[in-house]
Chain A
Amino acid sequence: MTATEAPRKGVLGQRLVRREDPELLTGEARFVADLKVSGTLHLALVRSPMAHARLASVDVSPALEVPGVVAAYSGADLEGEWAGPLPCAWPVTDDMRQPAHLPLAAREVCYVGDAVAVVVAESEYAARDGAEAVLVDYDPLPVVVDLEEAAADRALAHEELGTNTSYVWELKPDEAAVEAAFASAAHVVSGRYVQQRLIPSAMEPRGVLVVPQPFGGEFTVYSATQIPHILKVMLAVTTGISETSLRVIAPSVGGGFGSKLNVYAEEVLALTLARMLKRPVRWIETRSEATQATIQGRGQIQEIELAADERGRIQAVRVRLLADMGAYLQLVTPGVPLLGAFLYSGVYDVPAYSLSCRSVFTNLTPTDAYRGAGRPEATYAIERAVDLLARRVGVDPAEIRRRNYIRPEQFPYSSVAGLVYDSGAYEAALDKALQLAGYEELRAEQARRREAGERHQLGIGVSSYMEMCGLAPSRVLASLNYSAGGWEAATVRILPTGKVQVVTGTAPHGQGHETSWSMIAADRLGISPDDVEVLHSDTAIAPYGLDTYGSRSLSVGGVAVAIATDRVIDKARQIAAHQLEIAPEDLDYGGGEFRAKGSPERSMALGAVAFEAFTAHDLPEGLEPNLEASSHFDPPNFTFPFGTHVCVVEIDTETGGVGLASYVAVDDCGNQVNPLIVEGQVHGGITQGIAQALFEKASYDDQGNLLTSTFMDYLVPAASELPSFVTGSTVTPSPTNVLGVKGVGEAGTIGSAPAVINAVVDALSTYGVEDIEMPATPERVWRAIEQGRRP
């Protein structure tokens, strides 16, 4: 482990309150729906109530009778408008099958919610009434809902593809080694886990407003998106409008979790209609639409087998995945399983590995990246299987993990799946988590309650995770067939008054980048973060960027800010040296000032240097005016945060109700820029993992109708369902970047679901229960207990 830069006294590491919060808390923040442009037209979409059907006819004329309706179009009417289909940027294999996907379906609908017509009106109300009036005739086609039936090709989600399989992807470095390990294993355990579909449920649903300048031919697109930069490029490709005529702005965005990491039909439609009608056009998603027409997460069936020796040391991991793409491939749909595919060996030193993934189409809402994307799935499978192994071997779940961890001295560690883990100290995180949880006392209390046959039984679940984040080294993305790079851009300017402007290519939507980036620049400049402004999420201000997802912003974008800041200091040094008539290398910089080594009274403040750079009256020969520098940072490797979570559940054995008694998370994301923000990310992340483990599931009937289309049925947990989280951390800096940082946006979600289910299964182990499907609802738990009680 090589610490590039240990935490030091300065701005970094301080628990500064987020500068973003006052405007969010007072309602001053402006989301897309708050933007009012006079003359705006409103869109309402007519969505298919059938999961699979041929469009016999779409008659929009009754909508035109509705007062206030300006225009209405079917998919067929607009077919000539598209320069390209809705994009999928990740064709993971060369022979991947992909159905045509247009913003409005013209011939066939493939899931409930697929849009078939659009109504444009003077008000939202008129648009909605108009949409109700549109007449559509559907000829039903066979519907594919179940994942395993989809794989069997009994009915087809897209007849023209001839199969439901989109692709088969394999990672089999040495099959012979895997087979040998299983043949000679003392213990073999296997599990089959279902990752249910999840509805992302960002606080702000999606929305888009396109303001055209009919004479200039230019369009400003305001969208509730995580990816203004990527969206701009993709809008140019799908509509044929020149990139130079497009400006994309993401105003305040109320969360995304991956659901806004996409290029959606409504964005393309709004732009196209603004072009056709020469008026501003707006679409704001309703919550019910969000449950159908916004991508969903997870949707996998996993089979995992572990081969282990006598003492439970894992010798091989073999995994088969079946992944649900849904009806179409959205921006990175096919890549999601790949983001986890390298990680099914978890935090363990595993010599042999084999993984295959079959991805299939169903007639359901498309899936795509959702907080963790692939990595929560991988962590869940290995952490559940390792618990099973502990039971077979007859040791405590903590002990089985200790026997298998990659040891600190093995870093950088080359994994059998082909990654190089940057740094880690897995056992230290486990020790800290067990100590914070009071593990020994918990086990004693558990034994006491079992002995006494009490109604409320305790379950203790441990999960150790590791994830790859900081997407991503561009060359690695190339090897995975991803059609973009993974670098990030930053520009740092010292303004004439000495204040600092940071321009970033990241697109925060709740993560607090303004606070963190200002801290990074201020720390290096030795000034107050209050003197640093951070601009982002507007392609006219920040022309280059690859936006925010995959816990990449800090370890790629934040690092770019650090590098650009250092470059600015280097330039300032030359100017200061010239002014002070001293060699640049004889100057120290600190506290916002250059000082001569040995004679600190010869000094020049950064503000004075900035003013010199601005007036350019007396600069060193050949040096350009102004203090500004940029960085386009392409990370040399992913970063690999890790940690251990301990969850304690209390199960009411009469009702099957699961209560969370306590939750401890020890996360290591390398150096922490702002621990308060780290904790916030961890809290939200844990909650989303708990949500998957105990509460949320997008349920469908056998005809592909969503049964959980409101928050009455789709149970997002609230504070009252959660214990106060105990968070701790260890700090193992990443050697791959100057800040020594990793990512923490997804860590909580990745570590938590297996910790919760391990706890539930632990509580139920006395009833012979070895697994319980997510979400572990009271009825499922009750049934498991009933079954165990039967002789």
Chain B
Amino acid sequence: MIPASFDYERARSVEAAIRLLTERGEEAKLLAGGHSLLPLMRLRMATPGLLVDLGGIRELSYVRRSGDDLAIGALTRHCDLAANELARADSPLLAHVAGQIGDPQVRHRGTIGGSLAHGDPASDLPAACLALGASFLVAGSAGERRIPADEFFRGFLETALRPDEVLVEISVPRHAEAGWSFQKFTRRAQDWAIVGVAAVSDGSTRISLVNMGSTPLRATAAEEALAGGASAEEAAARAADGLEPPSDLNASPEYRRHLASVLTRRALEECAAVT
């Protein structure tokens, strides 16, 4: 439980962070809330040579309207997002999901940017962002670019971020009028989801899945079935079509597929009830 030694720099600005990342290359790692990175370091499963702490960049913690979107600073902590009035009004799904993460300690340290950049398929916010059709503003030595959530998650703990890039802002379309639901199945309240389902419905329905593959995923087959006029029950039966969910101590792939269907049906029922 003692990490290997590492250098530590506290970045004063996004530019400073990018500079440090550029200088030190792959051995440098950004540190936000530390609640994914530090456990790995303590088990010596991650041994970065340099930690660039973003914690001092206060300007990266905000929730504000930006046109039709809600814009969230990457360093916004889960607890702040969950409690934020604007977020609860404009993206009730995102605020709700943030409030379902881990336990109060985790929510008071973890940040939305860290959660997305970590790219863990078992995390909740990445799937929520997929269902919401979010996009991410990232900044690097080559300047800024915007990446749609659908193109962001590339593999297990792997994202479209380049080694010198910082995730700066998350934009989600406001969905105050839409039906939405988040179904998280756990054995203990504080746990990661064994399977989770996020759904947003306003005319069309987007469904995404937590912990059903090596990345957060859209339930495409179910979405298509719905678009083709299937009932919630019929569509939900197809939630795991084509997926290869993981096997672990909590669940076999077969059980995960079953859960995905049950939770998708419940999510769709709840979406319908909200609208």
Interface residues of A (CB under 8 A from B): 124-125, 128-129, 132, 286-288, 654-655, 657, 695, 699, 707-708, 710, 712-713, 715, 717-718, 720-721, 777-779, 782-783
Contact A782 B249, beta carbon cutoff 8 Å: no
B251: chain A residues within 8 A (beta carbon) = 778-779
A707: chain B residues within 8 A (beta carbon) = 249
Contact B188 A715, beta carbon cutoff 8 Å: yes
Residue among B44, B103, B194, B252 facing the most chain A CB atoms (10 A cut-off): B194
Contact B249 A720, beta carbon cutoff 8 Å: no
B194: chain A residues within 8 A (beta carbon) = 778
A707 to chain B, nearest CB (A): 6
B10 to chain A, nearest CB (A): 21
B204 on interface, CB distance cutoff 8 Å: no
8 A Cβ contacts from B232-259 to A: 249-252, 255, 258-259
Interface string of B252-275 (1 = CB under 8 A from A): 100100110010000000000000
Contact B187 A695, beta carbon cutoff 8 Å: yes
B44: chain A residues within 8 A (beta carbon) = 132
B124 to chain A, nearest CB (A): 15
With A654-B262, A655-B262, A782-B255 already in contact, the answer to whether A287 and B188 are too (CB < 8 A) is no
Q: Which residue from chain A places its CB closest to the CB of B263 in the assembled complex?
A: A655
B73 to chain A, nearest CB (A): 28
* A8 to B259 Cα, complex, angstroms: 57
* A128 to B3 Cα, complex, angstroms: 9
A783: chain B residues within 8 A (beta carbon) = 255
* A657 to B189 Cα, complex, angstroms: 13
* B interface, over-half SS: loop
With A655-B259, A713-B249 already in contact, the answer to whether A777 and B2 are too (CB < 8 A) is no
B43: chain A residues within 8 A (beta carbon) = 288, 710
B192: chain A residues within 8 A (beta carbon) = 712
Contact A125 B5, beta carbon cutoff 8 Å: yes
Contact A695 B249, beta carbon cutoff 8 Å: no
Of B185, B187, B262, which one neighbours A777 at CB under 8 angstroms? B187
* A324 to B5 Cα, complex, angstroms: 40
B5 to chain A, nearest CB (A): 7
Q: Which residue from chain B places its CB closest to the CB of A695 in the assembled complex?
A: B187
* A129 to B251 Cα, complex, angstroms: 36
B250: chain A residues within 8 A (beta carbon) = 777, 779
Q: Which residue from chain A places its CB closest to the CB of B256 in the assembled complex?
A: A779
A522 to chain B, nearest CB (A): 40
Contact B2 A124, beta carbon cutoff 8 Å: yes
With A777-B250, A779-B255 already in contact, the answer to whether A720 and B188 are too (CB < 8 A) is yes
A718: chain B residues within 8 A (beta carbon) = 103, 188-190
B16 on interface, CB distance cutoff 8 Å: no
Of A286, A710, A712, which one neighbours B2 at CB under 8 angstroms? A286
Q: Which residue from chain B places its CB closest to the CB of A289 in the assembled complex?
A: B1
Q: Which residue from chain B places its CB closest to the CB of A779 in the assembled complex?
A: B255
* A132 to B249 Cα, complex, angstroms: 29
A721: chain B residues within 8 A (beta carbon) = 188-189
* Complex A-B: 30 CB contacts under 8 Å: A125-B2, A125-B5, A128-B2, A129-B4, A129-B5, A132-B44, A286-B1, A286-B2, A287-B1, A655-B185, A655-B259, A695-B187, A695-B188, A699-B249, A710-B43, A712-B192, A715-B188, A718-B188, A718-B190, A720-B189, A720-B190, A777-B250, A778-B187, A778-B194, A778-B251, A778-B255, A779-B250, A779-B252, A782-B255, A783-B255
Contact B187 A288, beta carbon cutoff 8 Å: no
B23 on interface, CB distance cutoff 8 Å: no
A657: chain B residues within 8 A (beta carbon) = 185
* A243 to B191 Cα, complex, angstroms: 48
Q: Top 6 A-B pairs ranked by shortest CB distance? A: A720-B189, A286-B1, A128-B2, A779-B255, A654-B262, A721-B188
Contact A715 B185, beta carbon cutoff 8 Å: no
* A712 to B35 Cα, complex, angstroms: 13
A448 to chain B, nearest CB (A): 23
* A263 to B250 Cα, complex, angstroms: 34
Interface residues of B (CB under 8 A from A): 1-2, 4-5, 43-44, 103, 185, 187-192, 194, 249-252, 255, 258-259, 262
* A678 to B226 Cα, complex, angstroms: 57
* A253 to B198 Cα, complex, angstroms: 45
Contact A715 B1, beta carbon cutoff 8 Å: no
* A710 to B191 Cα, complex, angstroms: 13
Residue among B188, B192, B250 facing the most chain A CB atoms (10 A cut-off): B188
* A99 to B187 Cα, complex, angstroms: 39
B190: chain A residues within 8 A (beta carbon) = 718, 720
* A225 to B2 Cα, complex, angstroms: 24
**Can you name 18 extra interface pairs (CB under 8 A) apart from A125-B2, A695-B188, A720-B188?**
A124-B2, A128-B2, A286-B1, A286-B2, A288-B1, A288-B43, A654-B262, A655-B185, A715-B187, A715-B191, A718-B103, A718-B188, A778-B185, A778-B187, A778-B194, A778-B251, A779-B250, A783-B255
B191: chain A residues within 8 A (beta carbon) = 712, 715
B1: chain A residues within 8 A (beta carbon) = 286-288
Q: Which residue from chain A places its CB closest to the CB of B187 in the assembled complex?
A: A715
* A695 to B189 Cα, complex, angstroms: 12
A655: chain B residues within 8 A (beta carbon) = 185, 259, 262
Q: Which residue from chain A places its CB closest to the CB of B255 in the assembled complex?
A: A779
A266 to chain B, nearest CB (A): 15
A128: chain B residues within 8 A (beta carbon) = 2
B4: chain A residues within 8 A (beta carbon) = 129, 132
B187: chain A residues within 8 A (beta carbon) = 695, 715, 777-778
* A712 to B259 Cα, complex, angstroms: 21
B142 to chain A, nearest CB (A): 37
* A782 to B256 Cα, complex, angstroms: 11
A695: chain B residues within 8 A (beta carbon) = 187-188
* A286 to B258 Cα, complex, angstroms: 38
* A783 to B44 Cα, complex, angstroms: 37
Residue among B2, B189, B251, B259 facing the most chain A CB atoms (10 A cut-off): B2
Q: Which residue from chain A places its CB closest to the CB of B195 in the assembled complex?
A: A655
B258: chain A residues within 8 A (beta carbon) = 782
A155 to chain B, nearest CB (A): 25
A287: chain B residues within 8 A (beta carbon) = 1
* A708 to B4 Cα, complex, angstroms: 23
A713: chain B residues within 8 A (beta carbon) = 249
B255: chain A residues within 8 A (beta carbon) = 778-779, 782-783
* A125 to B42 Cα, complex, angstroms: 11
A778: chain B residues within 8 A (beta carbon) = 185, 187, 194, 251, 255
* A594 to B249 Cα, complex, angstroms: 67
* A286 to B255 Cα, complex, angstroms: 34
A230 to chain B, nearest CB (A): 29
A125: chain B residues within 8 A (beta carbon) = 2, 5
A286: chain B residues within 8 A (beta carbon) = 1-2
A33 to chain B, nearest CB (A): 12
B77 to chain A, nearest CB (A): 21
Q: Which residue from chain B places its CB closest to the CB of A125 in the assembled complex?
A: B2
Q: Which residue from chain A places its CB closest to the CB of B2 in the assembled complex?
A: A128
B62 to chain A, nearest CB (A): 31
* A286 to B251 Cα, complex, angstroms: 28
* A128 to B192 Cα, complex, angstroms: 30
Q: Which residue from chain B places its CB closest to the CB of A205 in the assembled complex?
A: B1
Residue among B189, B250, B255 facing the most chain A CB atoms (10 A cut-off): B255
B5: chain A residues within 8 A (beta carbon) = 125, 129
A421 to chain B, nearest CB (A): 38
* A430 to B235 Cα, complex, angstroms: 50
B262: chain A residues within 8 A (beta carbon) = 654-655
B26 to chain A, nearest CB (A): 21
